[in-house]
Amino acid sequence: MRFIFSVLIGAGLGIGSVFLHATLVPVSLIFVLIATIAGIWSIGRMWDGKALRIVASITWTAVVLRAGFPGINEEYLIEGTAVGISLINVGFMALVIAILLPV
């Protein structure tokens, strides 16, 4: 059950990151990254497991990277602008930080 919840939390954080990263450009990107760190870290804090943090991080990465590929009608949810590329690159670094933070 904890595994399923960590997958759902990771997917929710990823979906929120995709839809919020470009709304109010510098503030929303920083908010998304802080929320990602806090969300992934809280999974390990709540259920005492680094493995669950890794599962949620992999789910977040899968959602965000899928949003960077073209959809059915060739639309992109994460564009190739500085903000979109920053979400992918700095978001991955934020996940590594969230995994390595102590409980």
pLDDT tens-digit map of 23-69: 988 899 999 999 999 999 999 999 888 999 999 999 999 999 999 99
Contact (Cβ atoms closer than 8 angstroms) between residue 52 and residue 44: yes
CA angle 48, 65, 59 (to 5 degrees): 20
pTM above 0.95, yes or no: no
Output the pLDDT for position 8.
97
pLDDT at 37: 96
Task: Tell me the C-alpha distance between 28 and 53, whole Å.
Answer: 23
Q: Give me the mean pLDDT over the 6-34 stretch.
A: 94
Mean pLDDT of the chain: 93
pLDDT category, 92, cuts 50, 70, 90? very high
Q: What share of the chain is helix, strand, coil (3-state, %, to 5)?
A: 75, 0, 25
